[in-house]
Structures are given as structure tokens and as C-alpha cells.
Amino acid sequence: MAKSSRRKPKLETWLHATQTPVFVLTANRKIAFFNSGCEQLTGWSAEDVIGQICEYASDPEEHELAALTNKLCPPPEVFTGEHVDVPAYIVHRDGRSIARILHFYPLNDDGRVRSVLAIMTPLDVLAPPTKVSASGRLHAELAALRLSLRQQYDIKSLVGDGEPMSRVLDQIQIARQSELGLLLIGEKGVGKEHIARVIHYGSEIGTRSFVPLECAKSPAWELQQTLNRLFESVEDEAAVASAILPGTVYLCDVENLPRDLQALLIERLKQVQRRNTSPLRLIAGTTTELSAAVDDGRLRSDLYYLLTPLQIEVPSLRRRIDEIPLLAQHFLEENNRGHDQQIGGLDDEVLRQFQEHNWPGNIDELAAVVNESWAACDNTLIRAEHLPFRFRTGQDAQTVGPPIAPATVPLEEYLAKVEREQIEFALQQSKQNKTKAAKQLGLTRPKLYRRMESLGIDDAEESGAQGSA
């Protein structure tokens, strides 16, 4: 009797039955085959997985299919014909992480990669894979770090493992357990608002809304309208859905909030406390020393003490040099999400330039540079030629010869000279109007008079009046 023509080939039958996890992806990163070994290892069925598109991005979410499928995505260079081994923590459906090596074999047809065969084997730390690219190692390190941060801190959107950020992560845990005022201190672009959101959404009031206020950029009337609407919602919480009921107000550059609005904010907070309504937390961000803003009258002392029971200093990127490769890889992989273009990493030369750059814009600047480079990249790696022009010119500016060391002068003499020049310039600009000059200098009028007297600066208004009498 002739054998049935529908009988599966022996290889296909073996691939389905073997306990060795084997899967196949198409050229557009769609999972086409997922055998029983994969099902047992991951807890997901072939029916769940086949047809899913993989993305080359680290995803720390547990219990979600994307947490698995993104782990199964080959580095982009595999689709150019390279055989690559990738260490990875495969996420089981129940949330467990399983260390494995993914061996990716490109399958060519007519000189083009039509599909990719992948085999998962146990990770042997004593005999690491030999064909892992530098970007592949960085991808694996980022995935492991994000998994660790999720398990230890329940944090999914921050990346950092150096000493300065480890302290911040511990402080975030403390801040999440409290409803006290919190002050975030750091340079522009270090991610203060992002940290404020992490704290808010990880706290008991995280089901409510996070309300950011740009105290330096928004006009006073807009800030006042927002504050009034916010407190009206709090006072009438029965009529407001929980998801839009304010939970945290974030005051960006709080020292620039007009004093009359500072008074309004404090008075309305007192009313909320007296009525014993839902708690409303204040978190503020600043780039300056707030006590100085109190001294010169820009910030009310009662608001200062309300905001500063808890304080977190957010480090600049210059203090996180060793974390820059992981941060850059993180921003790159976020760009991969939802796009056909998938880029594997950054060239070693690019990472070297990143670690030598001064980063005056901190995290925000790094993210912007990676985003623009990703958009310009036509390869599997971001190379120096893909970096934006403004970054390259900035690099040149930072490397134009060594600075000329200034001559040493007595400090008191130097500071007095600088202060005298600034005061005289402000007086000249304001046409000897002391009130305007004091405002330009960030001083009160009495303090300006004291400094002028101390420095021996003549009062031109008075001397002019005496001369004309």
C-alpha cells in the first residue's frame, strides 16, 4: 500500500516533537513555527505565539505575550546573513525568568534571508557563547538590568545601576510610601518629571491623575485657571471619576511660581486638609538652591517647608558616564517599537564619543541624539556618520585645544570685582532705577543698597539730585 502523500517529513515531525525549543521567524520578524519544546519552556502555546511580530526591544513586563516575543527577536544583523548567538532571560507566562542562549541561523534563498531558524539552549556561564556581537551583549545587559529593576524596585521605565542612581532608586522607594511633600533637585534634562511620575504611579494614589505645571513657561493666568480647576475637582470628588481626580501636582521650576499663586496654592491646600478630603500631594522640581529663592523673596517660606520634608538629588549625566551605553541602547530600542526598521545597537566609536561628550542637556539631550541618529540610520548599527550635525559640531567645540589657565588672583578681590561689574551694569541698564536693577540681579532693593554701600558704589540718583539742587 502506497504511503500517504500527506505524511509529514521526518524532520518536520521531529522538530514538532523534540523537547529542544525550536522556532522559526519570517523575514519580517513574524513567528511562523513554535514547537512543543518552546511551549514547555515558556508556558505559551503555539496558537498564542504563531503570527506575532517580534521587535528588537527590551521589555520587562511580565505575564504579557510581548515580554516573550520581543525576547525571541533576532538582532538585525541576522537578517543580513550573520549567524549570531544571544544570551537572554526568557520570560515564562507565570513571570519566571529562564536563562537561555538563542542561536539564530539565517536561512538563505537566492542570496536573500527568507527566514531564521532559532534554537534555545541552556546558558552555560562557564562557557559563554562566542558569536555574540558587542551590541548583542549590550542588548542582553539592558534586558537583564530592566528585569532586575522590575523585580527589586517594581520600576519599568528607569535605567540605571551606578552608585548615584542606586541611591535615587532607594529614595524613590521611600517616597512612594509617603504622601509628604517632595523636592527633586537637578540640572535641566536629568529626568526630574519622569521620576516624579514613577513615584506617583507607584504610590497608593497612583490610580489618580498626575498634574504637571510649568511654573516658568506657563503664563500666570493659565496657572491660576489650572489650580482653580484642580482644587474644584478635589473638593467635589464625588462627581469626578477616580482616574481624573488629581493625586499629585508637579511644580516644575517651582521658584518661578508667582507669589500670589503660591499663596493661593497654600490656602486651597489648607481647605482640603480641613475638609479631610482625598489627599493631594505636592512634588516640585528645581535646578537651583531653593533656600536662596526664599532669601531673595521669590519663594514663600511656608511653601518651601511644605515641599522639602523629602528631597532627592537627581545626578547629571556627567556623573553617570558608565551608564551611557545602556541608556543609549534603551532609547534606541524604544525607537524600534512599532516600526519595520529595527536597529541592533551603536557602533563602538559612537559609544566612545557619547562617553566623552559633556552632555549639557543631560538625559533629554542623549535621547534626542539617539532618536535623530536612529531616524538617519540605514544600517543595523548606528555609526558616527548617522549622528546629527549639531552633536558632531558640539563634539568639535569641546575638543578645540586645552583651555588657557587663568592667572590666580585673591578670591575676595575677584568676587568683589565681578559683583561690582554686575551691579553697575544692572544700574546702567535700568537707568539707575534701583527697583528694576534689584529685580534683574535677583535681589531685594534693601539688599542691593547694602551691597552698593559695601562695595563703595555711588548712588547716582542721589548725587545727581544734589548737584542740581
The CATH fold of domain 320-398: Helicase, Ruva Protein; domain 3 (1.10.8)
pLDDT digits 0-9 by tens, 363-374: 999 999 999 999
Q: Is the domain covering 163-317 a CATH 3.40.50.300 domain?
A: yes
DSSP state of 403: P
What is 30-46 written as a DSSP string?
BEEEE-HHHHHHHS--H
**Looking up cell 539552549, which residue turns up?**
121
Number of helices (H), then strands (E), in the chain: 19, 12
List, in order, residues 6 or more apart from 190 with CB less than 8 Å away: 314, 315, 316, 317, 362, 363
Domain boundaries defined on the chain: 12-153, 163-317, 320-398, 411-462
pLDDT digits 0-9 by tens, 153-198: 888 889 998 999 999 999 999 999 999 999 999 999 999 999 999 9
pLDDT at 183: 97
**281-286 and 182-185: which strand pairing?**
parallel
Distance of CA 203 to the CA centre of its chain: 19
pLDDT higher at 361 or 409? 361
pLDDT at 125: 54
Beta strands in 235-309 (DSSP E): 246-252, 281-286
Sign of CA dihedral 248, 253, 258, 263: positive
Mean pLDDT for the stretch of residues 422-450: 83
In the predicted structure, residue 352 carries a pLDDT above the cut 60: yes
DSSP state of 226: H
Between helix 362-376 and helix 324-336 the angle, nearest 10°, is 50
| Equal CATH topology for 12-153 and 163-317 | no
List, in order, residues 6 or more apart from 367 with CB less than 8 Å away: 331
Full-prediction pTM beyond 0.85?
no
Torsion of CA 146, 147, 151, 155, to 10 degrees: 30
What is 157-199 written as a DSSP string?
S----SHHHHHHHHHHHHHHT--S-EEEE--TTS-HHHHHHHH
**Looking up cell 557563547, which residue turns up?**
129
Distance of CA 92 to the CA centre of its chain: 27
Kind and range of the H or E run holding 209: strand 209-214
CATH no. of 12-153: 3.30.450.20
With cut-offs at 50, 70 and 90, classify the pLDDT of residue 222.
very high
pLDDT at 461: 47
